Amino acid sequence: MDHPDDDAPPAAPGLHDPEDALAAAVAGAPATDAPAGAEGGTAAGPGGLDDHVAAWVARVVETYPRPVHPLTREWDVSVQGLVRLVPLLPRFATAPLALLDRLGAVTVGPERVGLDGTDVEWDRVVEVRTEPAWACLSAAALEADLARFVTVLPPVPGRGWLVRRVSELLLSLYLAVLPAEGDGAPVADLEAALAEDGGPLLDHVVTSVTFTRRFGQGEATASVPSALLQLALPGTAEVIVRTARDRGVAVTRLAPEETGVGSVVTRAATWRRTALTLRDDVAARWGGR
């Protein structure tokens, strides 16, 4: 993980724009086949993971340890850490995986807290903010963050395999939290269910950590991947909030713009269709699920 005063890493040579990088990756030649046991497939999983979730993602999410308050040692989760749990991880993928360390990560412990590789000692934290998950999970944001992963991966052996696995992970977690309007449920039923029981889209996630720097203040903000990881591992955001309060850090629970549940469902339905299209495009170009 990186110090909050460090500069962001440069983009891989020839891939300066994230959206262009994603388009180039999706349009490229398919990667070599993954080893036996590392293929995708779909399976019902824990916590409401549906049949659009890759089987290995469901298994990893089910077995990954959750943080428990009060914390006695540091806990973290990251995209690259979960991809490392793919069965029979090929050796060629281990080195490029290290480049993803600061993207899509959540850290919390007795001494520090962090989002997306910016880890800060609690003594320097000024404020922790939370928001309903839907406020930071637009399909456009997902695509941009997926493009960031592609951007930092150089064109080396194993890049295609990693693009496929990272895409499977993020799209699986994303589709799992969106109401399955496209799968036959009437919008009115989804609105009623969301209003009565809530759901991942209405759950609060930690979206920013404000901290003091040598000069002024800095802010670590959650990407779509780090927000999805908080939802996939229930209790993560609550442990961060409770630890912040233990340390005397201000916690702000932000309310998004006033909007009805129907509006959230409508947006989510659009995001789901976009994500399904992106998933199918990546699968067609880089190999089957």
Question: Does residue 13 form part of some domain?
Answer: no
| Mean pLDDT confidence for 1-22 | 42
Which strand ranges, in their side-by-side order, compose the sheet holding 118-121? Answer: 75-78, 105-108, 112-115, 118-121
Give domain status of residue 8, yes or no.
no
Walk across the sheet containing 125-132 and list its strands: 217-221, 204-212, 125-132, 250-253
- Model confidence at 69: pLDDT above 50: yes
What is the average pLDDT across 76-92? 91
26-40, 114-128, 162-176, 215-229: least confident range? 26-40
Q: What is the pLDDT of residues 260-283, one digit of tens each?
A: 555 676 777 788 888 888 888 877
Domain holding 102, by residue range, is 18-286
Spatial distance between the Cα atoms of 238 and 220, rounded to a whole number of angstroms:
18
Q: Regarding predicted confidence, which is higher, 119 or 96?
A: 119
pLDDT, residue 12, reads 35
Residue 39 lies in a domain: yes
Please tell me the pTM assigned to this model: 0.79
Residue 5 belongs to some domain of the structure: no
Instruction: List, for residues 153-204, the tens digit of each pLDDT value.
Output: 888 888 888 889 999 999 999 999 887 654 455 445 544 555 555 578 889 9
Asked if the structure places residue 71 within a domain, the reply is yes
d(CA 227, CA 221): 10
Instruction: Please tell me the total count of domains within the chain.
Output: 1
DSSP three-state, residue 155 = coil
Question: Does the residue 9 lie in any domain?
Answer: no
Q: Token pair of 51, please? A: 């049949």
Pairing, β 250-253 against β 217-221: unpaired
H-type alpha helices, 28-155:
55-63, 79-83, 94-97, 139-152
Q: Is residue 80 part of a domain?
A: yes
Of 62, 36, 68, the C-alpha closest to 49 is 62
Inside any domain, residue 133: yes
